[in-house]
Every structure is written in structure tokens, then in C-alpha cells.
Amino acid sequence: MKPVIFGMSGLSLTPDEAAFFRDADPAGYILFARNIADIAQVRALTDSLRALHGRDDLLIMIDQEGGRVARMRPPVWPAFPPGSAFDALYEIAPASAIEAARTNAQAIATTLRECGITVDALPLLDVRQPGASDIMGDRTFGSDPMRVAALGRAVLDGLKRGGVTGIVKHMPGHGRALVDSHLELPHVDADEAALAIDLEPFRTLNWAPIGMTAHIVYAAWDNTLPASLSPTVLQNIIRDRIGFDGLLMSDDLDMKALSGSVPELAAGVVAAGCDLALNCWARMDEMIGIADALPDITPRARERLDAAMSYAATPTDDAPLDVLLAKRDSFLALA
């Protein structure tokens, strides 16, 4: 098995993709809007991936946050609110906001599980800071670390109830970035005391099954390399100071924050300490290069992968989707 998550080009596997994926044996896959038409089609696609590898617990992930980051959209699927909706409700009624976030996440998981998707890139634990890039903005749970952690915990719980594993992101914190890491490399010059605030939600939820890194340079820790490529940040900050021992994946390697070829970057993030590299864009030449550049997955990374995929293997609450949405909306109406 190769320590990488690959994307696919369309609504079904091409013959070339099927042959390549069978041989490369990646740790998992990520879906985007280009891979999604309706429930039956997505289910057929995810079933074909499981059949290809003979792994019922295959990692198949998606970015289904709600708000502007949603790959599955109306009219086939419900529209889900962004994180800021729960932040606003928390201001008025904290307990209601926590239950609304939990119920909303369970509703998301219900829609994903029906389609055979096992992992969602949610919750964001980034602590929003004044003047930062709007790339986080309304996606976050606000600027108070305790609130972010409380709502993040509720999301992880709700996803698990619905049979989906969550990913905490973007470690060790994206809330201070002044530019969008999709477009350029952010440099955060905050000192240790300020950065300790950003770490708090991740430390509180350091038991989370999966985490995703940030493509950001943190001058206080490593003034040269972004976190995803920095052994210092990955080990000293994420593994040691935060205490995170779950499955750690990079953010997408094709983001403009990083420089170098995608295969070189994949090898770089894994060598630095990420368990998995994330490659989203399904360009066959790049995927072949990544498979050639990467070693086999380490035994420890495989243990973390297996633990993450068993974390929410079976839904624990079969509440109907319409009931969950009505319950969530009754809470959100308070705000």
C-alpha cells in the first residue's frame, strides 16, 4: 500500500485509473464535485473502489463542510450551514449550539454514508483571528479556542453517530494566515504565546482519529518550511506538544502554497512525518510519479489508518435525515 490519497477524474473510474489504482494500492481516495451526480452514481463509484481493493473499510473522503465548501449540493442533497452559524448560536445558547452542531454533523454523515463515503474533512479547529484571510472566515467556529473545541467535539461525535470519521484541520492552525494557501504560501510571524491559542482546540481534541496539516510557515517554529514539510512542526508541535497520535495527512499537494513537483512534494511530506500525502486532481502523470516516489506505507501509519477506519465503522444512531434536519433547524432558529 502506498501512503497517498488520490482523486479521480470523473463520475466513474476510467480503465486506466482502475488498472493504475489496482497496482498502486493507495491508502484511499477523495471525491470532488466532478465525481458527483446523484446518490446511485456516487454509490456505484465508491462500491467500485472497494471492490477494486477488496477493502470494505477503504478510506473514501470528501470535503463536505457546509456553506461554500460542499461537494454534494441541492437539489440532490440538502444545503448545510457553515461553521459560523453555530458560532452565532453559541453566543446566545451554548448548549443549543453544541447540540445543533452535533445533529448537523450526523445529518451530513447520513448523506455521506448512503453514498459509501467513509470520511469527511470536518471539523475545522482553526481559531479565527482579526485581519486574517477570508479563506477561513465563515467556515470556522469563531475566535474563542474553548468554543471552537466544544463545537468541534460535537461535530466529531455527530459524524461518528452517522458512521463517518471526521478529520480535524488545519494543524497546527490556519486562523492567522493573511493570504489564501490555495494561492500562495502564508507566513505567520506570531510568537509562541499567540500560537499557543491556536493549538488549544487541537490539544483538547488530540484524540481525534485523523488530522490534516496546514501549508503555512510558522516563523516561531520553522522559518523556512511550511508545516506539511517541516519535521520540526510535525514532530515537535503536532505529535509532541499537541499530543496528536492519529492518522496525519497533508493538505492538497497541488495548492500554490507549495513549490516543486507534486511527486517531490508527496515524498517530502511523508519523509517529514505525515502518514499520508493528499493528491486531489487525478492527473495520471502526477499520480504515476507519486507512486514511484513514495515508499510503502510504514507499519505505524498503517496501524493509524486501520484505527481511523474502525473508529466510525458502524453508525450508532439511525435517525432519519428529515428528523435530524428539523431538529437542527429548530436550534438554529434561536439565533
Cα(204)–Cα(80) distance, integer angstroms: 26
Cell of 197: 491559542
Q: Are strands 2-7 and 217-218 parallel, antiparallel or unpaired?
A: unpaired
How far, in Å, CA of 107 to CA of 323, rounded? 9
Are the C-beta atoms of 227 and 220 separated by less than 8 Å?
no
Phi and psi at 168, nearest 5°, equal -85, 135
Between CA 167 and CA 120 the distance in angstroms is 6
Separation CA 293–CA 269 (nearest Å): 12
The residues annotated with a catalytic role in the active site are 182, 251
Phi, psi of 319 (to 5 degrees): -55, 135
- Cα 274 from chain centroid? 14
Angle of CA points 143, 145, 149, to nearest 5°:
120
Length of the chain in residues, anyone?
335
DSSP assignment string, 8-34: -SSSS--HHHHHHHHHH-EEEEEE-GG
Determine whether 58 is exposed, middle or buried from the number of CB atoms within 10 Å of its CB (0-12, 13-18, 19+). Answer: buried
Q: Tell me how far apart the alpha carbons of residues 23 and 169 are, in angstroms, rounded to a whole number.
A: 30
Task: Return the residue matching grid coordinates 492518522.
Answer: 247
Bridge pairing between strands 165-171 and 210-213: parallel
Of 67, 53, 70, which is closest to residue 112 (Cα–Cα)?
Answer: 70
